[in-house]
Amino acid sequence: MWHFRFGGPDMERLVKGRERIYLDRFWNEFSADPKSFDEASRRHYARLYALPGAMHSGFEQFKAFDQDAIDNRAFVAKGMLPMPVLAVGGEKSFGPMMAVVMRAAATNVQEVVIPHSGHWLMEENPTATVSAIVHFLQ
């Protein structure tokens, strides 16, 4: 029987040399419209993820989610964040759910849903994303 640990050496060997194929799946599945994640961006990111250790680092980020949840519960137990927090979600992705999640940890949450975008806000709708961030920082 085969056992694969997410992000382990077996997974890294499976994607080595196939980074673009692996990443295209995520870009296509998590975008509002796969055409909005342009070819130049796909080539750029695929080239970076093909660098030694890059896929491993990406897998490690996802592998840390369980520990992040534990750490976040301990952090929030000490008190809610009082400063303004901007919760940004893509219309076709997390949308308003980002603000729902952040309201569990912060008392001053401002919610923005970026239209015509999925998970890849800067690639799918950079104008609206930058505008929301600039407005929040002002």
pLDDT tens for each residue of 89-123: 999 999 999 999 999 999 999 999 999 999 999 99
What is the rounded distance in angstroms from the CA atom of residue 90 to the CA atom of residue 27? Answer: 14
What's the CA gap between 58 and 52, in Å, rounded?
A: 12
pLDDT at 11: 81
pLDDT in tens, 61-90: 989 999 999 999 999 999 999 999 999 999
**Model confidence pLDDT, tens digit, residues 4-57:** 455 567 888 899 999 999 999 999 999 999 999 999 999 999 999 999 999 999
Q: For residue 98, with 0-12 CB atoms within 10 Å meaning exposed, 13-18 middle and 19 or more buried, which class applies?
A: buried
What pLDDT, on the 0 to 100 scale, is given for residue 115?
98
pLDDT at 2: 44
The model carries a pTM of: 0.84
